[in-house]
Amino acid sequence: MRSFSDIIVELLWLLRPVDGSENRRSCVYFLSAHGRHLLLMGDADWFSEAHVVKELHRCELIGKIDAVVVSHHGASDGSNPSFVSLVGAEKALVSIGRSNRYGHPHRDVLDRWPSSGATIHRTDLDGALSFDFETGEVDRY
């Protein structure tokens, strides 16, 4: 755990994969400040999400996430339905390029987050996004 000014940063997941999957090398971070919590999922897939859930339970953070940066640009290999439900974030940010060649975000992923009560914010539609730890709001630029 590291602290920068008022923000606490905790590494929740890091794996050196044996299967060669580059995305499984992605780190998952938990940030907190001013009583607000943000989960940065990187390119985590369902396998990694299962381990992140264990860490969230261990740290007693289940149900305390205000916002999540959705994993892997909203690809279908992330945002497992049980993970989305357990995280219970109010806001889901998807970082993606407009008309990207991968077709991200996947429709199922876009449907899962609102089904759990989260509002979706997308960089391809909303422009640059930031999470305000003081207000808990997502700002667009």
Domain boundaries, the chain: 2-140
Degrees (nearest 5) of the Cα angle 131, 110, 94? 30
pLDDT per position as a tens digit, 70-85: 998 888 888 999 999 9
SS3 (DSSP) at 16: coil
pLDDT per position as a tens digit, 109-140: 999 999 999 999 999 999 999 999 999 999 99
Beta bridge partners of 68: 39, 92
**pLDDT score at 24:** 63
Q: What dotted CATH number matches 2-140?
A: 3.60.15.10
Q: Model confidence at 86, in pLDDT bands (50, 70, 90)?
A: very high
What is the Cα–Cα distance from 71 to 58, expressed in whole angstroms? Answer: 21
Are 67 and 91 within 8 A, CB to CB?
yes
Q: Work out the widest C-alpha separation in the chain, in whole angstroms.
A: 41
What is the Cα–Cα distance from 8 to 28, expressed in whole angstroms? Answer: 14
**pLDDT score at 15:** 63
Query: In sequence order, which ranges of 70-122 are alpha helices (DSSP H)?
Result: 81-87, 107-115
Q: Which amino acid is at 124?
A: D
**pLDDT score at 17:** 56
**pLDDT score at 140:** 93
Could you identify the residue written with the tokens 């989305």?
A: 84
pLDDT per position as a tens digit, 23-82: 666 789 999 999 999 999 998 888 889 989 999 999 898 889 999 999 988 888 889 999
Q: Model confidence at 14, in pLDDT bands (50, 70, 90)?
A: confident
What is the Cα–Cα distance from 110 to 108, expressed in whole angstroms? Answer: 5
Residue 1 has pLDDT above 80, yes or no: no
